[in-house]
Amino acid sequence: MRIAVFGTGYLGATHAACMAELGHEVIGVDVDPAKVSRLQEGEAPFFEPGLPELLRRHTASGRLRFTHSYEVAAQSADVHFIAVGTPQRPDSAAADLSQVDAVVEALGPLLTGHAVVLGKSTVPVGTATGIADRIRALAPSPEIVVGWNPEFLREGTAVHDTLCPDRIVLGVGPGDRGRIESVTREVYAGPLADGTPLVVTDLATAELTKVAANSFLATKISFINSVAEVCDAVDADVSVLADAIGFDERIGRRFLNAGLGFGGACLPKDVRAFRARAAELGVSAAANLLADVERINSRQRTRVATMALEACRGIDNPRAAVLGLTFKPDSDDVRDSPALDVASRLAAAGVTVQAWDPHGMDNAERLHPELGYFDSPLAACKAADVVLVMTEWDEIRALTPSDLADTVSERVVIDARNCLDPAAWRTAGWTYRGIGRR
């Protein structure tokens, strides 16, 4: 198929490369000229395992191209994916739809023939119907149809998640199902042949599926973090507890790691946008639940910052080593990263922050130039009064107490991701503090 992808950020660049891998002819469109030229050279503008190989292979073969021209893209494709950002609005918890609106206004008048528009961006329920109406008003052809195909990829495993998704969700408007579903089946013929389920539903259900999925994951994390606080109060161990309840298939062990809480470009803003939309619709139970999920999440950051400041109390010019800056391992994304948030709070409180991350330092430094950045975990730990483990990168989990013992000033480690072995660190003479861990 001939496919255009509008917006080539974390989602769009991955989607474009994976569509080429599935055998389609793809053109990616972005308003950022630097991003377009890097992608056209076959270079990934961000760290995502497996993506550089796909970009190189398919830009070299010509099956994957990038442009800033809507005209070129509109002529080069029959299926148009909207994959631009929907960040939080600066003035409220709601989603900022200006990038999506800009795509619709620019693309709509250029659509011809039997083009199909598929939304991928995460949007508040009700958005897709408005977009379908607007595109019908703008497009010279009455045959244009709009569906919503939310994306569930996870940064760090985005290529795998796109090529082998758990499920494909497709929302269609009344009367539009036939053509949109058959085109979608052709686009995803590979994963569907491998047994990926396709859920076809109405536009509102498709939009809600995405924010409900992210809100559920966020709720799971805030649930275990609130249990961790109870564990702290009675000297119980939340990691053992999570293992024990996780054996129950109805609960499951994943997303039950107590720690610094969720962050990144999706979960926090999707939870906030869902809360705002639920409140707008007058559904207060959902809005209140999600407000609590957020409150618990932000309290985790305060708890870890407080633990670090307590460790530094009474020390002149204290130094904190911050290991890990990204919101999760295997990504360079520091958007709404809990690690970076805590690091900047410590710096604001007068602590000298010495940070290290295997892939997130350039992005972190752009946002927080006031922090110190070091080229190895050992260098970041030099003369530190407290070591904070903030992101569970393999390189950080692999550090042993003896690796750092002679480098630090004080043997105090705060394991904000509960990813170290407390017994090993305590036996080696360290003061170990985790989250809800004895």
User: Active-site positions?
Assistant: 266
DSSP-H helix ranges across 95-165: 98-107, 127-138, 158-163
Q: Which is nearer to ligand NAD, 25 or 30 (CB)?
A: 30
Distance (Å, rounded) from C-alpha 382 to C-alpha 13? 38
Type of residue at 122: T
Burial status of residue 157 (CB atoms within 10 A of its CB: 0-12, 13-18, 19 or more): middle
Interface map 150-189 toward ligand NAD (x if CB under 6 A): -x-x-x----------------------------------
User: Do 269 and 214 contact (CB within 8 A), yes or no?
Assistant: no
- Is position 332 an interface residue for ligand NAD (rule: CB under 6 A)? no
Find the part of the chain contacting ligand NAD (CB under 6 A) among 8-16, 137-145, 338-346, 393-401: 8-16
DSSP state of 88: B
Distance (Å, rounded) from C-alpha 315 to C-alpha 51? 45
Find the part of the chain contacting ligand NAD (CB under 6 A) among 98-106, 190-198, 254-262, 316-324: 98-106
- Is position 101 an interface residue for ligand NAD (rule: CB under 6 A)? no
114-153 residues near ligand NAD, rule: CB under 6 A = 121-122, 151, 153
The DSSP element (H or E) to which 292 belongs, if any, is helix 284-312
Q: Which is nearer to ligand NAD, 6 or 430 (CB)?
A: 6
- Is position 227 an interface residue for ligand NAD (rule: CB under 6 A)? no
Type of residue at 359: H
- Is position 266 an interface residue for ligand NAD (rule: CB under 6 A)? yes
- Is position 337 an interface residue for ligand NAD (rule: CB under 6 A)? no
DSSP state of 86: -
Q: Which residues lie below 8 Å from residue 197, measured CB to CB, with a gap of 6+?
A: 167, 168
Among 102, 213, 236, 309, binds ligand NAD (CB under 6 A): 102
Q: Closest approach of Cβ 200 to ligand NAD, in Å?
A: 20
Q: Which is nearer to ligand NAD, 216 or 284 (CB)?
A: 216
Position of minimal CB gap to ligand NAD: 9
Q: Closest approach of Cβ 153 to ligand NAD, in Å?
A: 5
Q: Which is nearer to ligand NAD, 11 or 293 (CB)?
A: 11
Find the part of the chain contacting ligand NAD (CB under 6 A) among 10-18, 55-63, 110-118, 392-400: 10-18
Among 85, 147, 173, 358, binds ligand NAD (CB under 6 A): 85
User: Do 155 and 264 contact (CB within 8 A), yes or no?
Assistant: yes
Distance (Å, rounded) from C-alpha 271 to C-alpha 290? 7
Among 1, 2, 22, 32, binds ligand NAD (CB under 6 A): 32
- Is position 330 an interface residue for ligand NAD (rule: CB under 6 A)? no
Q: Closest approach of Cβ 190 to ligand NAD, in Å?
A: 20
Burial status of residue 211 (CB atoms within 10 A of its CB: 0-12, 13-18, 19 or more): buried
Q: Closest approach of Cβ 137 to ligand NAD, in Å?
A: 19
- Is position 31 an interface residue for ligand NAD (rule: CB under 6 A)? yes
Q: Which is nearer to ligand NAD, 109 or 246 (CB)?
A: 109
Q: Which is nearer to ligand NAD, 151 or 341 (CB)?
A: 151
Among 21, 24, 35, 435, binds ligand NAD (CB under 6 A): 35
Q: Closest approach of Cβ 103 to ligand NAD, in Å?
A: 5
End-to-end CA distance of the chain: 56
Give which of 295, 382, 293, 309 is closest to 342, Cα–Cα.
Answer: 309
Distance (Å, rounded) from C-alpha 207 to C-alpha 74? 25
Q: Which residues lie below 8 Å from residue 199, measured CB to CB, with a gap of 6+?
A: 167, 168, 169, 170, 209
DSSP state of 336: T
Q: Closest approach of Cβ 119 to ligand NAD, in Å?
A: 9
User: Do 147 and 119 contact (CB within 8 A), yes or no?
Assistant: yes
Q: Closest approach of Cβ 170 to ligand NAD, in Å?
A: 15
| 3-state class (DSSP) for residue 202 | strand
CA distance readout (Å), 281 to 92, 146, 150, 194: 16, 24, 21, 39
Instruction: Summarize as ranges the residues that interact with ligand NAD (CB under 6 A).
Output: 6-12, 29-32, 35, 83-86, 99, 102-103, 121-122, 151, 153, 155, 265-266
